[in-house]
Amino acid sequence: MESDTQRIAVGLRRRDFAVLETLVEQYQYRLVRYLASLLGRRDGVDDLVQETWLRVLERGESYDGYSRFEPWLFRVARNIALDAMRKGPMFSLDSHEGDGVRSLPASGEPSPYTLAARTQDAERLAHSLQTLEPACREALVLRFQEDLSLQEISGIVGAPVSTVASRIYRGLAALRLQLEGYPA
């Protein structure tokens, strides 16, 4: 019997519009959230989302259907975002950890988390997130917002599982210190 992921893989290979439409509806919000947190800004995210789905259309046959779809989608989105960072002046890139993630919001522009905060606690968390190393923030978002395993995150960011784990510990420690007063 064909699993959901295998149905997706077959649909992508055939460039089935119905499958693509379902995927767009199902994953659009998470894609926007991931790209906004990756870039540290909301501006320009819609263009990258569109670019990501066009890449999915173009390279859909490379999804094997044996693993979950989300990590594959996020890896595509991440590559698109990194390309945009390298090409465009709108994003800054400072790859001190070797995987190319270093983004900052434009001066004066509120972060996507500040825009998405609905409570005072959320505003504090938004501020703390913005001060985190982007690589740690990305690891936290992928683990706790997107509910991905460390192996899946490792596949997306192209770093060893141990590195991803240490980013998560560092990120949690920093947020605990800022929000709960726990020393690291």
Contact (CB, 8 A) for 136 and 171: yes
d(CA 1, CA 4): 10
Q: Which of 66, 108, 119, 120 binds other proteins (CB under 8 A)?
A: 119
Q: Is the dihedral of CA 93, 36, 72, 134 positive or negative?
A: positive
Q: How far is the CB of 1 from other proteins (least distance, A)?
A: 28
Q: Which of 17, 59, 61, 158 binds other proteins (CB under 8 A)?
A: 17
d(CA 127, CA 57): 36
- Could you say whether residue 33 binds other proteins (CB under 8 A)? yes
Burial class of residue 40 (count of CB atoms within 10 Å of its CB; 0-12, 13-18, 19+): buried
Segment near other proteins (CB under 8 A), from 1-9, 80-88, 94-102, 164-172? Answer: 164-172
Residues that bind other proteins (CB under 8 A): 15, 17, 20-21, 24-25, 28-29, 32-33, 36, 46, 49-50, 53-54, 57-58, 112-113, 115-119, 121-122, 125-126, 140-141, 143-145, 149-150, 161, 165, 168-169, 172-173, 175-176, 179-180, 182
